[in-house]
Amino acid sequence: MSIQENIAKVREKMAAAAREAGRNPEEILLIGASKMNDAAACREAIAAGVDALGENRVQEMTAKLEEHAYDGAPLHFIGHLQRNKVRQVVGRVSLIQSAGSLELLSEIEKAAANKHLIQDVLLEVNIGEEAAKSGFLPGEIFQGAENALNLPHIRVRGLMTIPPADASPEENRRYFDQVWRLFVDINEKMYDNSFEYLSMGMSGDYEEAIRSGATMVRVGTAIFGGRHYT
Ligand SMILES: *Cc1c(COP(=O)(O)O)cnc(C)c1O
């Protein structure tokens, strides 16, 4: 199966899941998670109509930017972002999906102010409260969202989450529903219903995420095939 065929298949399944949930398929964006895939693969995915590409590693993203891998589509940063690499990301991507701590927000604010721009971000929620994962804990996310309101060079557009990898389908569903409720709550109470993006769902669970209200799914292997780590 080619990248183009894979994307067509994913789009079909996304649309079916949306319709089942009584939602308009057009309101859900497909982000190609292109880590470990080369510039040619990125270009193929863009030609086949992904709404954006998402990268995980700053170094890989920087190299692929130089190769014009993302020309013609928005670029998102979706991976764990170290504070000392923030400057290399701010202003180069249209959305940082993984703003997961007050320290990181403050670093993004500084870099965006320096570059005289406003950076769009999603707040990442560590919904499974996993020690090894970054992101605001469910009990901290309101404080994070409130804090971001005071940062003039950051615009929060919504939330992102990655549930625990070992969650059962039922647990996964529960995590997605919990994040959806946080999204609605924060959006209403603090952001005048200006949120647009609830980013959740990957190759194994994007249909489930769409049934739970995702407006953005991040799909890697189902588009690009298995990743070969060298
Ligand atoms: C790799 C990655 C994905 C996509 O994972 P697949 O299971 O390959 O679809 C989504 N989100 C993030 C943050 C990722 O790092």
Ligand 1 atom with minimal separation from the 35 CA? 1
> Please, which pLDDT band fits residue 227 given cuts at 50, 70 and 90?
confident
Name all residues whose Cβ lies below 6 A of ligand 1.
33, 35, 56, 78-79, 162, 202-204, 218-222
33 alpha carbon to ligand 1 midpoint, in Å? 6
Q: For ligand 1, pick from 218, 219, 227, 228 the residue to mutate: most ligand atoms within 8 Å of CB.
A: 218
Helix (H) or strand (E) holding 52: strand 52-55
91 alpha carbon to ligand 1 midpoint, in Å? 22
Mean pLDDT of the chain: 97
Q: What pairing do the DSSP bridges indicate for beta strands 52-55 and 75-77?
A: parallel
SS3 154: strand
- Rounded Cα gap, residues 209 and 167, in angstroms: 13
pLDDT digit string (tens) for 29-80? Answer: 999 999 999 999 999 999 999 999 999 999 999 999 999 999 999 999 999 9
- Rounded Cα gap, residues 202 and 210, in angstroms: 11
pLDDT digit string (tens) for 133-166? Answer: 999 999 999 999 999 999 999 999 999 999 999 9
Ligand 1 atom with minimal separation from the 79 CA? 13
pTM (2 decimals)?
0.97
Alpha carbon nearest to ligand 1 atom 2, residue: 33
* pLDDT of 230: 53
**How confident is the model over 204-227, as a mean pLDDT?**
96
Smallest Cα–Cα separation from 158: which of 38, 27, 48, 67? Answer: 27
- Rounded Cα gap, residues 17 and 111, in angstroms: 39
CA-CA distances (angstroms) from residue 25 to 28, 50, 67, 146, 172?
Answer: 6, 14, 32, 31, 22
pLDDT digit string (tens) for 67-123? Answer: 999 999 999 999 999 999 999 999 999 999 999 999 999 999 999 999 999 999 999
